[in-house]
Each structure stands twice: as C-alpha cells, then as structure tokens.
Structure 1
Amino acid sequence: MYIGLDLGTSGLKGVLINDDQTVLAEASAPLTVTRPADGWSEQAPQDWITAAEHVMGKLAAYGLSGLRGIGLSGQMHGAVLLDASDAVLRPCILWNDTRAHGEAAMLDANPQFRAISGNVVFPGFTAPKLLWVAKHEPEIFAKTAKVLLPKDYLRLWLTGEYVSDMSDAAGTSWLDTGARDWSDVLLVASRMRRDQMPRLVEGSGVSGQLRPQLAARFGAGAGVIVAGGGGDNAASGIGVGVVKTGQAFVSLGTSGVLFAANDGYQPDAASAVHTFCHALPDTWHQMGVILAASDALNWFARLTGVQAKDLTADLGTLKAPGKTLFLPYLGGERTPLNDASIRGAFIGLEHATDRAAATRAVLEGVTFAIRDCRDALAATGTQIQSLLAVGGGSRSDYWLQAIATALDMPVKLPVSGDYGGAFGAARLGLMAATGAGAEIATPPQIAREIDPISAQTADFDATHARYREAASRISGLT
C-alpha cells in the first residue's frame, strides 16, 4: 500500500492506494489562511502537522501494516523558516502573498535569474520573500538556518530529513532548472547559502524513511519509504498521466493552471510562462498560471450571498459572451502580465446585467485568462494535443464548454475519482518504494469529452480581444 499526502492551501488530503493503484481510502482536513495585511497570505506550519496527524489517523483505520511508501505533494513557493533547532521562526508566507513585489523586481532585474532559473522572479516565489524578511524582520533572517517549502516541512516531521524535489525547488528562483541543482550564483545574489537549502532528489526518488515512532503510531511496519514527491501541479501531472510532450491539463482550483509536459528544457522567461522540472527525471513542464480561478467564482458567491454551485447550476447551455466583462485579477496576476498590483474589475455593466449574466462573465473572465496562458505557451513553441480538466471548477459543464470553445479544443473529463495531487503523490510513493518508472503514470479512463461549439468560436475570439484590451487599460492604471 502507498499513501499520497497533498498539502493544499485550503486543506490537506490523503489517499491510500494498493499495488494496482486502486484507491482504498481517502481522508482530508481543512486549513485556513490568515491575511494580516493587504496582499499578505500566511499559514502556521503547525496546522499542517495537526492536519497530517488527522489524515494519517483516518487512513490508519484501514490498516497500514502493508504500507511501503509515502509520496508528498503541496502548494509551492511558501517560505518556512527554521532556526538551528528546527523551530519555526514565523508563519509561512504563502504562494499567493505579493508583499515581496519590490524584492522580486530587484532580483528579476539581475539577468542571471532568468538565464539560470528559466523563469521570471515572481513576487510569490520563495527567494524574494527571504529578501523581504531580511529587510523587515532582520532578527528572524539572522536566525534562519533552513528554508523549507510547505510539503517539505511535512517531510521533516515524517522523516527528520531536510529534502526537497526538483519540481518544487524550481519555484524558488534558486534552482538551475536545466541542471536540476541549486545555483550558488542565485543563492549568493539573494543573500542565501547552499547549507540553508534542503538536499534535492527526484520526485520518484527516495528522500528518507518514516520515523519509527510514527510508523508505530499509525500501525505501519519498518522501512516505509518517503518519496521526493512534487509541487502540487507536477504531482497532479503524475496523477493524470500528463508526462509526455503534447499532453496537458487545465486545473480549475483556487488558482488556475494550464500545465503542459515537455521532454526537454525550453524556457522563455519573458513570456511569464513557468518552466519547471517535472516530478520525473529528465522531464520538464511549462505552466501558465492565473492566481484566481475557482477563487474568483467563490469571491462572487460571497458577494452575492449565493453558494458557488448554485450560481452555476441554472446557467443552461453555453451562451455567446455578453457585453459584461470580468477581469479576474483579485490579487495580482502571473501569466502573462506578471503584475502584482493589478486588480480585477467588472466592465460593461448595464441594467440588463442580472446575476446569471454576471456569473457567466466571471466564468468567461477566468476562461479568457486560461486562453492567455495557452497563447503564452504557444509562443514558446509548446503545442497542446490533448487536454484534461481537473479541479473543483471542472464540475461545471458550462465552464468547461466555455474553455473548450475559447481554446477551440476538446476538453476530456476523467471518470469519477480524484486524480489530482494526492493520487499523483501516492504514485510517486509507489515508484520510490518499488523502483517503478513513468510507465505507471498512465492517463485515467475518460468519462466523456466536451467539444467546442464551433458556432460560438468567433464570438469568443472577439470577446477575448475586448478582454485583452480591457486588461491592458487596467494594467496601465496600476
């Protein structure tokens, strides 16, 4: 048996699978985010441990005497600062925290960062956060002995080892993404040292073993392997079998991601496309990332006092976009704008704009942001031949029909079941424990395929052009 633990922003999920990759049990625990200032987003790492104890306890009820491996997946870019005794020095600064936009711009102005890391230095990445801490919390910076990413703090609890994997490390702005190693040049340029970094392994490699006291506590035997694991999107790529050039998935979670696998390393930092290591050796991936996908719909649901599922339940068949536009930049944007200050807007509101029309505009706004990501990936030479949909937003057929039409590409839906980060992490645990390779990362069975509505493609093209013009105007105001 194998466990996958996925540390998300809103909760921690665990799945238990067998050698045939059948899901035997699932468990989850909620998490909360604190926002002590505008643009800030933090969590207490101890809450992750509490959540992991709950999830592991629930999975242990199934019986873990046959447990052989554990894989980890998690939210990327977070900064967990530890002192020499492994005490947490401050709350973790999360991926969607934009306080370090000035420090990010300063690092990005150094051409070595894009050249070596293959990426823009975004405000949400880890390196600028440490510079922010150095400037605003110097006493904490001085005590920092180790910097860990969120899932790797769970690993420290599980194994006692300071380890990260290539895919997660690629989102720090400290990794030589082509060489798959920490860059001393980038570390020194951001006032860090290699000895403050965790050891690196591939996602399917061995990072350590489960501590004996935890094994005993949860009813597992000795020698349980803990895999390197992966950043949340790389692990999701393993979960849905997106591991080869031409394969892609769109994730409609808190954030939105268009993820495409690549057999080679082909960065284009100027496009604001993320080029990261995949969770398998000698593979990479590219992502267009937007900061608010289902988060935008949930925001609108709170504004209207109606649950998100009820907002989308009665939309009917896909309609051509109306006059109302929604720009989903609630907390800045990554691809393709790279603008931490930009904020969202409704444009073209009129008397005829009712709740359904505004809901459609929100879904369309996120859809057009995903199309921007597709266009940015295409500009780097990445072509998508097959597209899967995952995440909570994929439960809306209306939304998926809009995406299919805006991208002019069928969207495939897996059969019922969760093939996301937790399942991918469990697969990585299986690989590490058994020596299996990418051959086990097969795509799921497809339940159905949502085709574009060709009669509306021109309407979506024209509205996307209006959307881009509006985004340019809004960006110019910040």
Structure 2
Amino acid sequence: MTVPVIVALDCSTSACKAVVFDLSGETVCESRRYVTTTSPRPGWYEQDATQWAEGLADALTSVADLLPPSHRPLALGITHQRETFVCVDRDHHPIRPAILWLDNRAEEQVARLGGDAVQAATGKPRSTLPSLYKLAWLAEHEPDTLRRTHQVLDVHAYVSHYLTGVAVTSWASADSTALVDLATRDWSPELLRAAGLTRQQVPELAAPGDRIGGLRPEVARRTGLPVGLPVVAGAGDGQCAGIGVGGLAPGTAYLNLGTSFSLGAFVPGRPTYPGLRTMAAPVPGHSAVETLQPVGGMTLDWARDLLSAPDRSAVEAAAAEVPPGAGGLLFLPYLGGRETPVHRSDVRGAVLGLGGRHGAAELLRAVVEGLAHDQRDCLDLLRQATGADLRRVIVTGGFAQSALVVRIFSDVLGVPTAVAPEREGTALGAAVVAAAAGPDAPYADVPTAARHMTRPAATVAVDAHAAEYHEAVRPLRAGVLAGFDATEHALTALRHL
C-alpha cells in the first residue's frame, strides 16, 4: 500500500530542516543541518547563503534515506527565516554574505525612509527588520554590490532556484521585505526605488500554494527524491508556524518561542495597526498580525548559560520551586532592543530589586517572568488593536519544550496556554500549504488541510494564585517602564563614552 507524504523544508536562522509528514500531519522522518551566523561588527549579522543550499540538500538526502519504500512524496513545501536576503550574480552565486533579519546596521535609513506611508503600504512599522532599509544601506555604503547584483533573493527564492532552477518567491514570503504592497500583492515601484533596485533585480512572485516547478534532475540524483517532485510556494516562518500549531482556530493566538519570540493571530482582511506587523497570510482573505521580541530565545539562552553551569536541569528545577515574583526581582528583557510597540534598538535590559539573597534560581525565574510579561504586553496590544477575542495561546518552538517556561507564560498571560504537539510546527505549516496546492492536491484549501493535519494541543491551565500575583505586578511594571526610557538614554550615552 502506497502512503502519500509531503516533504517540508524550513530554512531557519539556525538550521536547514527537512521534515516529512503524512496526510494526517504525523512526522514520518526529519533531519537538519546547522548553519553558521557571523557578526563582522556589533549589530551586524550575516550568513553564507551557499550553506542554505548545502544544508537543505544534505537534510533532504537524509530524509530520503529514512523514508520507507511504501511512502511516496507528493510535493515539497518551503518556509524560511523572513527578511533575510542575498545578492546574487547572473549565475545566482552570492556576491556577498546574506544579511539577516536581526541585523541592525540600517538605523539611519529607518529614520529617513520609514514611517506611516511605508506601514500603510506594507503593514511594516519602523524597524531594522525589513530588507528595504538594509538594501538602502547597501546602496549608500556598498554601491558596487548593487551594481553587480543581478537579483536580490529572499531565502525562499534562493531555495527555489536551487531546487527547480527558477528563482521564485511567494508574496507571503517577500512581504516581509517591506517592498511588497499589501493591497496589490506585488512589488511596490516606489519602495524598490527607495531601496536602490529595479524591477528586474527582484524575483518573480507566486501565490502561496502555486507550483513553482519540479525538482531538478541534479538535485534528485543527489538527494534521492523523485525527479520532477512538485515544489510549492510557501510562506515565511511566522505565518507557517501559526498554521502548523492550529492558529487558524477562532480565539487563538500563536506564540513562536524560537530565536525571537513572535506572537500573532490571523485576522480578516489586510488591516494595519501602529506598532504591529501585518504579514500576508497563505489563507485566502486573511492576514497575520504579529508582535516581536527580537532576542527572546537568545535572552533565555544567555541566562541559562550564565546561571546554569554546570547543571542546567538542576537550576531550572530550582527555579520552578521559587514562588512567583522571584523574591522581588523585576527583569526587563531588552538585551537586544525592543520592536513592539516601538522600535528602539538602543534599549537594553535591567534587573531591578537585586539583593544578596538572590541566587541563580531566582535570577532564572526572573528572566522567564520578564519575558512572559513582555509577551503579555504584546497580547494586550494585539487584542486592543485588532478587537480579536483571544482566549487561548498555542506555543511552539524550542523553548516551548521547557515546562518552566510554559508554566510561567500561562500564569502571566492569564489564558490557557497549550504546547503544540508537533515540535516542528513551522515545517508542518509549510506542509499544510503544500497539501492544498493544485486541483489534484489531497485537500481543497489550507483551512481544510489544517483541520486534518494539525492536532489538539495539551493545555496548561492558569494557576489562579500565580495569576493574581502577576496581575498585581502589571501596573507596577508599567510604572517602571514609563520611567525607564529616560534612564536608558543615560545608559546609552554611557555605553558610547
């Protein structure tokens, strides 16, 4: 008996992952290859794009080897880190390292080019995240790079070219660049000019679910996958994560706890809201509205590494025994700046209330609580702006596997918090899109595919006592934040002495 399956590629910030799902959303096999991020200057982050191709080829080869003979791939879906781009020559070889989404070299360009008009057209508030501003930086600081550039490719287009020989991206992928008009789902001529590009220097746009082409013979030979396997246009990792964890259900928000923390919800239409990011969704008639904590996962890793030597599990267990409030500590989790509700790359974090009686367990708990309160700020803003009645949050990503994190987040958010049963929820979202691609696809549309391929998540109920404590903290924390900006200006000046 032949078992139909979908292959999903997730080229994230840290790794290129290949995951094979059956049509009920169960994982058949998976593999990953890690990629290296370099930082040539403080605040600059780059990757060698050829590692994406090598990584995905190796990962695909591994899953093809693991795939039982009875399983037949129907299609290959794509998802990826957003906003990251690479400049390539006519042979589609990188001219320089790819510039990542978390790179903040373009502050001057954001100040000059960003604003209400850009957000109205693209749904993207002022921020160094979108490619627009970093491309404008290249035009000013590396003009020869853009002169030599045949095309600027997001990760989707680069992967598409490797797989099929055609550089195509989805408008639900390119949307994050702030070069795509939300209303037309096409490249904006005005914003391309602002970035120093021509229309010929950007890839063709496809709709999510469109079939881009078939797997090239060279890639098929290397990986062991079928020649001509349909490659399907996907979407960015945030939107795919929302789909893959069940975020299409009414009253549900999704929270991706990865390198960054991204909280979002699917809403009808193409609305834009101050301080929030509207992302094109691979769901007809809907958009994803998101918040962002750019270094949420990095902050947790920093705290764990700093406080957990030599035994990470022991200090996490000890932190779970510390009562809510961490002995009177308040952590402001802005080690890499803020994005929601206002872009402030110069802001840094703080620990308030620190005393000699505090140890590693209290400090780790304070870090998790501080990140959770930041996400509560985001949830409140998302509700207020969109009017959505968000009564449940589903978490996914690496840090969703921590019982300490999920417990504290549930109590601070004040709503039942569920852990997505599929750890690779982002890849599953890409598989859902691919499973609804074309007239002969297994499912008629993305919502139908999502209903069949996503499963109910185990819910962590709110602890009433802890939630009451955290509600009392909310106005106190708001008062601290209100006075923090003035202090932060002084600290910024101090850092530059």
Q: TM-score, normalised by structure 2?
A: 0.90
Give the one of 314, 319, 334 matched to 2:318.
Answer: 314
The equivalent of 2:26 in structure 1 is: 22
Shift of 1:411: 0.7
**Which digits, 9 at most, give the CA deviation of each residue in 1:283-339, with x for residues without a partner?**
211111101222111111222353654432333357221421222212112111311
Shift of 1:41: 1.1
Instruction: Judge conservation of contact 1:248–1:386 (CA < 8 Å) in 2.
Output: yes
CA separation of 1:22 and 1:405: change in aligned 2, threshold 3 A = closer
The equivalent of 2:89 in structure 1 is: 83
CA separation of 1:319 and 1:203: change in aligned 2, threshold 3 A = farther
CA separation of 1:166 and 1:282: change in aligned 2, threshold 3 A = farther
CA distance in 1 between counterparts of 2:241 and 2:344 reads 26
The equivalent of 2:289 in structure 1 is: 286
The residue identity in structure 2 corresponding to 1:404 is S
Is 1:92 equivalent to 2:98 in the alignment? yes
Structure 1 segment 230-241 matched on structure 2, within 5 A? 230-241=235-246
Instruction: Judge conservation of contact 2:24–2:454 (CA < 8 Å) in 1.
Output: no
Counterpart of 1:286 in 2: which secondary structure? strand
Counterpart of 2:38 in 1: which secondary structure? coil
Give the one of 454, 467, 475 matched to 2:477.
Answer: 467
Give the one of 299, 308, 315 matched to 1:296.
Answer: 299
CA distance in 2 between counterparts of 1:308 and 1:273 reads 35
The equivalent of 1:455 in structure 2 is: 465
CA distance in 1 between counterparts of 2:358 and 2:317 reads 18
CA separation of 1:245 and 1:187: change in aligned 2, threshold 3 A = farther
The equivalent of 1:124 in structure 2 is: 129
CA distance in 2 between counterparts of 1:178 and 1:7 reads 27
Structure 1 segment 12-411 matched on structure 2, within 5 A? 12-63=16-67, 66-109=72-115, 111-243=116-248, 245-268=250-273, 270=274, 272-304=275-307, 306=309, 308-316=312-320, 319-321=323-325, 322-381=327-386, 382-411=388-417
Shift of 1:159: 1.1
Instruction: Judge conservation of contact 2:244–2:426 (CA < 8 Å) in 1.
Output: yes
**Which digits, 9 at most, give the CA deviation of each residue in 1:320-373, with x for residues without a partner?**
214212222121121113111111222221112111110011001110111111
Instruction: Judge conservation of contact 2:6–2:22 (CA < 8 Å) in 1.
Output: yes
Single out whichever of 465-474 and 49-58 deviates more from structure 2: 465-474
Shift of 1:225: 1.0
Counterpart of 2:127 in 1: which secondary structure? coil
Q: TM-score, normalised by structure 1?
A: 0.93
CA separation of 1:220 and 1:445: change in aligned 2, threshold 3 A = closer
Single out whichever of 162-171 and 300-309 deviates more from structure 2: 300-309
Is 1:440 equivalent to 2:416 in the alignment? no
The residue identity in structure 2 corresponding to 1:80 is V
CA distance in 2 between counterparts of 1:101 and 1:189 reads 15
Shift of 1:141: 1.8
Instruction: Judge conservation of contact 2:246–2:455 (CA < 8 Å) in 1.
Output: no
The equivalent of 1:413 in structure 2 is: 419
Counterpart of 2:458 in 1: which secondary structure? strand
Structure 2: gaps of 5 or more residues: 490-497
CA separation of 1:41 and 1:216: change in aligned 2, threshold 3 A = same
CA distance in 2 between counterparts of 1:348 and 1:94 reads 36
CA separation of 1:318 and 1:3: change in aligned 2, threshold 3 A = farther
The residue identity in structure 1 corresponding to 2:41 is A
State the Cα RMSD in Å. 2.0
CA distance in 1 between counterparts of 2:461 and 2:225 reads 46
**Which digits, 9 at most, give the CA deviation of each residue in 1:129-174, with x for residues without a partner?**
0011111111112212211112321111111112111222221111
CA distance in 1 between counterparts of 2:305 and 2:337 reads 19
Shift of 1:178: 3.0
CA distance in 2 between counterparts of 1:180 and 1:308 reads 46
Matched length: 474
Instruction: Judge conservation of contact 1:390–1:420 (CA < 8 Å) in 2.
Output: yes
CA distance in 1 between counterparts of 2:406 and 2:257 reads 10
CA distance in 1 between counterparts of 2:156 and 2:391 reads 31
Counterpart of 1:323 in 2: which secondary structure? coil
**Which digits, 9 at most, give the CA deviation of each residue in 1:397-427, with x for residues without a partner?**
2322222222211012233x32411122222
Structure 1: gaps of 5 or more residues: none
CA distance in 2 between counterparts of 1:183 and 1:249 reads 29
Is 1:9 equivalent to 2:28 in the alignment? no
Instruction: Judge conservation of contact 1:122–1:334 (CA < 8 Å) in 2.
Output: yes
CA distance in 1 between counterparts of 2:35 and 2:305 reads 19
Shift of 1:35: 1.2
CA distance in 2 between counterparts of 1:100 and 1:180 reads 25
Instruction: Judge conservation of contact 2:132–2:191 (CA < 8 Å) in 1.
Output: no
Instruction: Judge conservation of contact 2:394–2:457 (CA < 8 Å) in 1.
Output: no
Shift of 1:121: 3.3
